[in-house]
Structure 1
Amino acid sequence: MIKKVLITGATGLIGTELVKQCHREGIAVNYFTTSKEKIENSQNYKGFYWNPKKGEIDLKAFEGTTAIINLVGATISKRWTDKYKKVILNSRTETMDLLHETLTKIDHTIVHFISASGVSIYPNSKTKLYTEENNEVDDTFLAEVVVAWEAAAARFKDLGMEVSKVRTGVVLAKDDGALPKLAKPIKLGVGAPLGSGEQWQSWIHLEDIAGIYLFLLKNQLEGKYNAVAPNPVQNKKMTKLIAAKLENPLWLPNIPAFVLKMVLGEMSVLVLEGQLVSSQKIEQLGYHFKYYNLENALQDLL
C-alpha cells in the first residue's frame, strides 16, 4: 500500500488534480517547488525547495516516499524560438538528471518512478492506429523532446526501480490547457476547423489523466502507457462539438495550413498534425475511463 508519493510539477494543471485524487485515496504528497513562497506544509501535503539549474535539492523530500511521479516541464504552447526550445527540453531532462544523481548518493525507499511523456513521439498519420508496441518516431522537435524525456526516465531502472512512461494526449480541462484556447475563437464567432480538419486529436479529460497516474501508482505497473481517451476525434469534429456545446454556429471556412504556419511557425505542428492513439493497453489492465466520449467530456467542462 502506497502511503506517500513525491510529485514534481504538483502545482501544474495535471499535478493539482493528481494531488486531489491522491488525498482522496489517503496517499500523502511531498512535492518540489522552485518557489520558496509556494512551500506548503500540512499533514498530507508538504513542499520542498529545489533549483535544478543550480543542482540544489532538499533531501528531506524523499523521506518516507516509495514512488516519484515526475510531471515537471515547461509549457509547449509558447512560441518556439531557439532559446525557448532549449527551455522546453532542459526543463524535462535537467530535473530528472538531478533526481537521478541525488538518488544514487542517498539511502531511500523509492521503488517506482513514473514520468510524463507525450503521444507526439508517434509520426503524424491520418490512418494508422498507434499502440505502445509501435517504435516509429516522428521527425519533429516534439518527438525529439519525448525521446530525450523517456531516455532520462529509463535511467532510473539502473537504480533498481520500476519505470513507467505516460504518453499523454491533448489534456482537456475547464480553465487551462487546450480547451479554453480552442473555445475562445468559437465564443468570439470566428471558430473554424484548422488546416484540413482531418488531423486526429487523441484527447483525455483532466480527471482521467490524473486517474491513470494514480492507477499506475497503486498497481505498481511499469512500462509505456498511452494516456488518451478511447475515442479520439478529428479536429473538424472536435471544433463542431465545441461549437454545438457553446451554441455558436461555425460559418467560416477552414483556416488554411499556410496561414497557421505563418502565424505559429514551427509550433503549427501542434494544431496541424495529430496521431490516432489507442488506449487499449491501460483499459485491458483495468483502468475505467470516466470520460469515454468527447461529448460527455465537453458536457462536464463547458
Structure 2
Amino acid sequence: MKVLITGATGLIGKAIVKKCHEQNITVHYLTTSKEKIEQQDNYKGFYWNPTANKIDVACLDGVESIINLAGATIANRWTASYKNVIVNSRLNTLQLIKETLQNNKHGVKHVISASAIGVYPDSLTNYYDEETSMVSTSFLGEVVEQWEAMTDTFKELDVLVSKVRIGLVLDGEEGALPQIVKPVKFNAGAPFGSGNQWQSWIHINDLAGIFVYVLTQEIDGVINGVAPNPVTNTELTKTVACVLDKKLILPNIPKGFMKLVLGEMHILLFESQRVSSKKIEEAGFQFEYVHLKPALQNLLT
C-alpha cells in the first residue's frame, strides 16, 4: 500500500509515518519546504505551495489513499488576520488536492482528513459521539464546520471520505503537554477556571494508530480521535503533578486573567468537550493507553 500524507513532518504526521512504516506502507509526502524533501524507498517527498496553487503531480504515483493533516497551528494569537490564515490554510490545501485529483489520472480511493473535537459545543454534561449534529458557535466550531464541508466534497470524486476529529494530543516533546508540565515542574501548576471542564485526550501513538487503522480498515465518515476515558482539567493537572511527584499549591487560574493574556484563544483552555471513542473501538481498534496516568507515565518518565 502507498499513501500520500500532507503535514507529514509535523507532530501527528511523524507518528503516522512511523506507524505506516511498521506496517510496510510506503509514504509519499507533500512539503512546502524543499529542504525537507527526502528520497528513500519507503519515504519520498514532493514539493507543493498551496498559496501559489503549485503541486508536484508525481506525488500521486501509485498512491491509493491520502491522509491530510495540513493546516496552520491554532496555538498562535487569534488576530483577525491570523484567523483567516487558520481557515484558509485548511481549505486551500484541500482544494488544491481535489483539483489535482480531478485534473490528473490517479488511483486514489480513500481520503482521510484531520478534523477537531472543537466542533462540539462547550458543555459540562453532554457526552458527544459521531452522530452529534450540534456545532459549537465558537471560532473553532466555524473552522471545523468549513474544514469538514470541504473534505466532504471529495465524495464527488467517488472516493471514500473519513474525518478524524482530534482531541487533546499528548506527546512528551511537542504540543500541549510540555506547556502543561512546565509550571507543574516548578510547583506552580494549577487548574484553569473551575477545573471541571472535560479534556478528551489521546496519546500520540494511539492517535497515529487510529489514522492507520481507518486507512487499512477503510472506515468512512466521522471518527473521534480520543481515548476512552476523558478527564476534567483538574484531574489532568493533578495527574501530571502526581507523575512528576510535584505539589499543586496555587489557587485555580481565573478565566478573566487568561483572557487578558491570550485573547479569544483562551477558550482552548476553558471549553469542555466530553467525547466518546466508542465508534473506533467497536470497529476493532485497540487502544494502548486507555487511562491518563499510564499515558503520562509513558511520556514523562
Q: Deviations over 1:79-126 (max 9, x none)?
A: 111111111111111000000111111110000000000000000000
Paired residue for 1:91? 89
Q: For residues 177 and 57 of structure 1, what CA distance do their matches in structure 2 show? A: 28
Paired residue for 1:164? 162
Q: For residues 15 and 97 of structure 1, what CA distance do their matches in structure 2 show? A: 20
Query: Which of these residues, 261, 281, 284, is aligned with residue 283 of structure 1?
Result: 281
Instruction: Give runs of ≥4 in structure 1 deviating > 6 Å.
Output: none
Task: Calculate the TM-score normalised by the size of structure 2.
Answer: 0.99
Q: Which amino acid aligns with 2:4?
A: L
Paired residue for 1:39? 37
The answer to whether 1:213 aligns with 2:211 is yes
Paired residue for 1:56? 54
Q: Which amino acid aligns with 2:297?
A: Q
Q: Which amino acid aligns with 1:272?
A: F
Q: For residues 119 and 173 of structure 2, what CA distance do their matches in structure 1 show? A: 26
Structure 1 residues 268-279: aligned runs within 5 Å = 268-279=266-277
Paired residue for 1:267? 265
Same amino acid, percent of matched pairs = 54
Q: Deviations over 1:38-87 (max 9, x none)?
A: 10000000000000000000000000000000011111111111111111
Query: Which of these residues, 3, 16, 19, is aligned with residue 18 of structure 1?
Result: 16
Paired residue for 1:230? 228
Q: For residues 30 and 274 of structure 1, what CA distance do their matches in structure 2 show? A: 36
- Cα offset, 1:290, TM superposition: 0.5
Q: For residues 279 and 271 of structure 1, what CA distance do their matches in structure 2 show? A: 21
- Cα offset, 1:134, TM superposition: 0.6
Q: For residues 159 and 39 of structure 2, what CA distance do their matches in structure 1 show? A: 28
- Cα offset, 1:251, TM superposition: 0.3
Query: Which of these residues, 121, 124, 129, is aligned with residue 122 of structure 2?
Result: 124
Q: CA RMSD in A?
A: 0.6
Q: For residues 300 and 18 of structure 1, what CA distance do their matches in structure 2 show? A: 18
2:51 is paired with a residue whose SS is coil
Q: For residues 271 and 169 of structure 1, what CA distance do their matches in structure 2 show? A: 13
- Cα offset, 1:127, TM superposition: 0.6
Q: Which amino acid aligns with 2:274?
A: L
Paired residue for 1:185? 183
Q: For residues 19 and 274 of structure 1, what CA distance do their matches in structure 2 show? A: 31
Q: For residues 262 and 151 of structure 1, what CA distance do their matches in structure 2 show? A: 33
Q: Deviations over 1:8-61 (max 9, x none)?
A: 000000100100110010000000000111100000000000000000000000
Q: For residues 219 and 273 of structure 1, what CA distance do their matches in structure 2 show? A: 32
Q: For residues 87 and 228 of structure 2, what CA distance do their matches in structure 1 show? A: 29
Q: For residues 138 and 217 of structure 1, what CA distance do their matches in structure 2 show? A: 28
Task: Calculate the TM-score normalised by the size of structure 1.
Answer: 0.99
Q: For residues 134 and 155 of structure 2, what CA distance do their matches in structure 1 show? A: 23
Q: Which amino acid aligns with 1:292?
A: V
Consecutive unaligned residues of structure 2, counting only runs of 5 or more, are: none
The answer to whether 1:203 aligns with 2:201 is yes
- Cα offset, 1:188, TM superposition: 2.0
Consecutive unaligned residues of structure 1, counting only runs of 5 or more, are: none
